[in-house]
Structure formats: structure tokens, C-alpha cells
Amino acid sequence: MSKGEILPQDIIIDILSRLPAKFIGQYRCLSKQWCNFLSHPQFIKFHFTLHAHKQETKLIFISDSDDLHTITFNRSPQNIIFDAISTNLNFQNNWLSIACSCNGLVLVENQEHIMFLINPTTLDYHRIPVFHLGLPQQSSYREYGFGYDAASDDYKVVNLSRYRKGNIDTTFVDVYSVRMGLWRRLESLPYDDVLSERGGASGVFVNGVLHWMASKASSFVIIGFDLSDEKFFEVPAPTNLYGNELDWYELRSFRGCLCMFCALLESKIDVWVMKEYRIEESWTTFRIDRLDLENGLVPFCPISDDDVVLSVDRDRLTVYNIKEDRWRYMEVDGLTYMFERTGIFIESLVSPINEKFLEVLTPTNNKLLFNKLSDLRGYLCMLYDTLGNEIDVWMMREYRVEESWTRFRVARMDGLVPFCAISDDDVVLNVDRDKHLTVYNVKEDHRRDMKFMMFPNLFTLSILTPTPIMESMQFQMAES
């Protein structure tokens, strides 16, 4: 290559995509062009796909001063972990808890009970809006889950809110879409309770599914919540789980598999790993002997195929090597913080911010003469001129899924604009934006005209008020 010759773009992409995420952030500062290129969603996805299975897990924790810190483990040339480095993220907030993480994003909560998605590598963050149909803090408790829905290319936060009235417990299920920026309430949880054996029951994300342990008919089950279809199902647990011999148990992710830590009363920890998802016979186990350690041994996470990080009495870190059955205490920059509010993450460029324009594919093999868009029945709707004497009205049944476009045909009328759907079969359209409406019945292929005096707009009857319902009513109806 001669002096001054520029490398082909595909070679540049290949070189940059192999760099760690923390270095990509530095190169974004070189120029606006580099920043735009290295921030492009396609590059971020390509970079994450290339590095996802190579990344070593890092710790993130809240210190005694309510600051966020990360911990990176250093290895020797012989692949032995020999020390750990702590970094203060300098997020100016009073943090309360760390819920869970996915693809380099961490869900955290501050002391005002406001949730944030943060990327500890890029320091990008997204504040999650308060869900005003939530339950009052004094009457309920909440558990969270966070994961990625590959089917819709969306990150979702799941909030399980348990409310008690008298002797009756009800757990509500609410889902927040990062892409849409909206909360939705689903049906209540079909189980008695979400178990919280050791003060936390954040959902564990494995295989596109969030997992919790729940009680059912005086026993416990592992439940999964599929982020794509948003349905609950049961995952078979290991058989013969010791009965009353358990001190505590909790779910984790280990080597990409669902994992269950079980602390025995005889000072041992059994680690169960589900090698094949939802196959009961695939549960395998290994034991961590904690006889010579203090009673406060708490597993945090695996940080490699062979190393598991645990805390001792919540103020020291130790690394257990499975293959060599060896313990190693870690010094973390001389810090003496209590490792009580702790989570895990991997380095990535994934951004929690969703403020970019997105392309939505139009119906296949159709050229648009004009592009009138509307919202019908909660679906994206558009008009297509067939260049004949008719107009096609298209509705996207599944957002951003090209194959979900469906069509019904309306007789040709100049200036036809879809206005709203007033039932499953009737669609109101406006003609030439004047005082002329027409109602088209999809099932009967029949149209009838309507006259009105003023130009209309849309609203829906509801009991909602401009102030949040739960803040204004303080859940008086439920308490009465």
C-alpha cells in the first residue's frame, strides 16, 4: 500500500470491531465522522456479536457512600486472577439497589425509587419513567427483571409488584419497552409469590427468558417469562433438592446456562447448572466446600468458565477456581466497602438511549403514490393508491414486522384519509379534510357517509385524570 492510501472501509470495520468497547469510546472523540460511524447501531450490534462470548464478567456495586463502582479482575500470563481494580463511575446520584443486567446494560434504582438503565462502559444512561399505575410503596414490594427481546429488537423491564389486602396477595406484572418508552400492565402473576430468600429476587435472564423462583401450593417452582410472547411458564427444577437441609438458594446465570446456588446447612454450596434449557435431566452439579471460611459466604457470579466470585461476610472478595478447587482472596485497591449491593455486567457499546429515527418497512412490492399514515386500532396504518379506481388501506399487525402488513380495500375517493377505528369492523375516514366523514365496514365492504358541523378530533372515554391516579387517590379504593 502506497503512502497516503486509505484502507478499504471493510478492513477498517474489521479492525475496529476487534477492539475492546472502552477503546472504541476513545476513538469516537477523534472526529464527528468517526463518532457517527462508531455509534451506528449496525456497528454496535456487530461489535457486540463478536465480543459477547469472549467478555469476562465484571462486578458493579454500591459503596457505603451510595456511589456506583465497578471492579475489573486482572489475570497473569498463566490466566490466574491476581488482583482487582475498582473504578468510581461518578454518576451523581444516591443509589439504592442494583437489580440486574443484560448485554452490558445495568438496571439500577436510586433512593427516590427511580429506575435507570446505565452502561458502565460508555456512561450512557436512560431514566425509566415512573409507572403511575404502580402500587404504593407501603402496601407492596417490587421485584424487577431486565432483558433483551430479539424478536422485536427491544429491551424490556419487567416489574412484579406484590400487593397485600387482608390475607389476599396479588402480584401485578408490568412491562416497560425501551424502544416504545411505554409501560403496559399484563394479567396478574399466576403464582402465589415470588421468593426472595436472601433479600433480592431479580429476574435472571437466560435464553431470552427472565426467571424467578416462586411458590405454588406450599412448594417452590422456577418460573420463566418469555420476553417475546410475554407469557409465563414453568422450568423444571433439579430433583431431590435436599428438603429442609437448605440454608438459602437463588438463581444465577452460569456460562450462558440457568444456574441455581444452594447453600446447605452443613457449610457447603451446591451449584446446579442446566446444560440444556428446560430439559430436567440436563441439570448437573458441583460442590463448593466452605468449611474453612466464615459463615457469610455469598456467591456473586462466575467471571470465566472456571472462576466464581464470592464475598466473605460482605466485606471481602474471594475467587474460587472450580477446576483446581482453589480459593484466592482479592484485594480491591485497598477498599473496605461492604459488598452488599452488587451486580454484574460485561463491557459493551450497547446504548440504553433510544432517541434515533428508525426505518419501518412498507408493504412488499408496492410503490407509494402518496404516504398518508394513521393509527387504526392501535396499529400503524397507511394508504396505498393502486393507480386504478380503488385505494388499499394497509395495517401493520406486528410493529416493524414486514410480513404482518394486512390489507383491506376501499373504493376510490379523492382526499381520503383514515381517521380512526370505532369497532373491529368499522373504520372512519375523512374526505378532503372537510366536514365529510365516511364509515367503511370491512366485513361487509359497505360505506356510509356522515355529516358534522365542526372538524373532529379523537378521544377515548376513561377515568384517567391529569394527575397520577395512585398519587391522587392513594389507593383509597383498595384500602377501603
Do 264 and 314 share a domain, yes or no? yes
- Per the CB < 8 A criterion, the answer to whether 56 and 303 are in contact is yes
Do 245 and 214 share a domain, yes or no? yes
Do 204 and 268 share a domain, yes or no? yes
Task: Read off the C-alpha cell for 331.
Answer: 484485594
List b or e across 217-247, with b for residues whose CB sees 16 or more CB atoms inside 10 angstroms.
eeebbbbbbbbeeeebeebebbeeeeeeeeb
Do 299 and 207 share a domain, yes or no? yes
Tell me which DSSP letter residue 136 carries: P
Query: Is residue 273 in a domain?
Result: yes
Chain centroid to CA 195? 21
Do 374 and 337 share a domain, yes or no? no
Count CA atoms closer than 13 A to 375's CA, side-chain side: 4
Chain centroid to CA 269? 29
- Per the CB < 8 A criterion, the answer to whether 175 and 160 are in contact is no
Do 451 and 318 share a domain, yes or no? no
Query: Is residue 415 in a domain?
Result: yes
Query: Is residue 357 in a domain?
Result: no
Do 183 and 145 share a domain, yes or no? yes
Strand ranges inside 33-153, DSSP E: 58-62, 68-75, 81-88, 95-102, 105-110, 115-118, 125-127, 140-149
Count of domains forming the chain: 3
Where does a domain end: 345, 371, 397? Answer: 345
Q: Which of 275, 245, 280 is nearest to 263 (CA)?
A: 245
Write the single-letter amino acid at 369: L
Q: Which of 256, 259, 262 is nearest to 242 (CA)?
A: 262
Q: What is the DSSP string of 179-237?
A: TTTEEEE-PPPSSSEE--TTS--PPEEETTEEEEEEEETTEEEEEEEETTTTEEEEEPP
Please list the pLDDT of the chain residue by residue as tens digits (480 residues): 556 567 787 888 888 888 888 888 888 888 877 888 888 888 888 889 888 777 777 888 887 778 888 888 776 655 556 567 777 787 777 888 888 899 999 999 988 888 999 999 988 889 998 876 656 655 567 889 999 999 999 999 998 887 777 777 778 899 999 988 889 888 888 777 776 554 446 889 999 999 998 877 767 889 999 999 999 999 998 887 755 566 677 888 887 899 888 877 666 788 889 999 999 999 998 887 765 555 566 666 777 777 788 776 666 778 888 888 787 777 777 565 666 677 888 889 998 886 555 667 777 655 555 556 777 667 787 766 655 556 677 788 877 677 788 876 655 555 666 666 667 667 777 666 555 777 777 677 777 777 665 555 555 555 554 544 333 333 333 343
Where does a domain end: 279, 311, 345? Answer: 345
Q: What is the DSSP string of 456-472?
A: ----------SS-HHHH
Do 24 and 67 share a domain, yes or no? no
CATH number, domain with residue 204: 2.120.10.80
Based on its alpha-carbon atoms, the radius of gyration of the chain, rounded to whole angstroms, reads: 27
Between the alpha carbon of residue 303 and those of residues 309, 318, 320, 345, the distances in Å are 7, 12, 10, 10
pLDDT of residue 231: 93
Q: Which of 398, 302, 402, 294 is nearest to 344 (CA)?
A: 302
Query: Is residue 336 in a domain?
Result: yes
Task: Read off the C-alpha cell for 479.
Answer: 384500602
Tell me which DSSP letter residue 292 carries: T
Query: Is residue 3 in a domain?
Result: no
- Per the CB < 8 A criterion, the answer to whether 17 and 47 are in contact is yes
Do 187 and 316 share a domain, yes or no? yes
pLDDT of residue 155: 95
Task: Read off the C-alpha cell for 236.
Answer: 423444571
Query: Is residue 351 in a domain?
Result: no
Query: Is residue 274 in a domain?
Result: yes
Range of the domain at 42: 9-49
Query: Is residue 459 in a domain?
Result: yes
Do 404 and 297 share a domain, yes or no? no
Burial tier of 445 (Cβ tally within 10 Å: 0-12, 13-18, 19+) = exposed
Q: Is the pTM of this model over 0.85?
A: no
Do 311 and 184 share a domain, yes or no? yes
Do 319 and 381 share a domain, yes or no? no
pLDDT of residue 177: 93
Site of grid cell 490466566: 79
Q: Which of 383, 417, 377 is nearest to 397 (CA)?
A: 377
Starting at the earlier edge strand, list the strands of the sheet with 140-149: 140-149, 154-165, 168-177, 182-185
